[in-house]
């Protein structure tokens, strides 16, 4: 199946800038479908970025994060060619992971 995670990691000086876009409904549980039935909550709870065995960012998300969520941050270290591992876990226990190369 198509990956749900897209990452752009760019080494810049002594830092790495990261942007990620994730395909996920991020249903809050407050919205009704066209039949008037509440769509159950389905959202990413944790999103983790790992570099060289260290977690450089751990995101705790709730239903207020937008659909097809986006994140942008940076960390010191990281060089071109290094791996950056991205993993998310949602409230239904589903998960996906992607290892991208820092450019």
Dihedral in degrees, nearest 10, Cα atoms 25, 26, 27, 30: -150
Q: What is the largest CA-CA distance in the chain?
A: 53
Q: Within 13 Å of residue 40, how many CA atoms lie on the same side as its CB?
A: 4
Binding mask 20-59 for other proteins (x = CB under 8 A): xx-x-x-xx-xxxxx-x--xxxx--xx-------xxxxxx
Binding mask 55-94 for other proteins (x = CB under 8 A): xxxxxxxxxxxxxxxxxxxxxxx-----------xxxxxx
Q: How far is the CB of 22 from other proteins (least distance, A)?
A: 9
Q: Within 13 Å of residue 92, how many CA atoms lie on the same side as its CB?
A: 13
Contact positions vs other proteins (CB under 8 A): 1-2, 4, 6, 8, 15, 19-21, 23, 25, 27-28, 30-34, 36, 39-42, 45-46, 54-77, 89-96
């Amino acid at each position: 199946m198509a990956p749900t995670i897209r990452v752009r990691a760019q080494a810049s000086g002594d830092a790495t800038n990261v942007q990620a876009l994730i395909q996920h409904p991020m249903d809050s549980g407050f919205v009704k479908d066209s039949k008037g039935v509440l769509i159950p909550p389905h959202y990413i709870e944790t999103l983790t970025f790992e570099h060289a065995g260290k977690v450089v960012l751990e995101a705790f998300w709730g239903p207020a994060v937008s659909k097809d969520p986006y994140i942008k941050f940076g960390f010191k270290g990281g060089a071109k060619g290094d791996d950056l591992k991205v993993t998310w876990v949602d409230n239904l226990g589903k998960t996906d992971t992607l290892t991208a190369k820092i450019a």
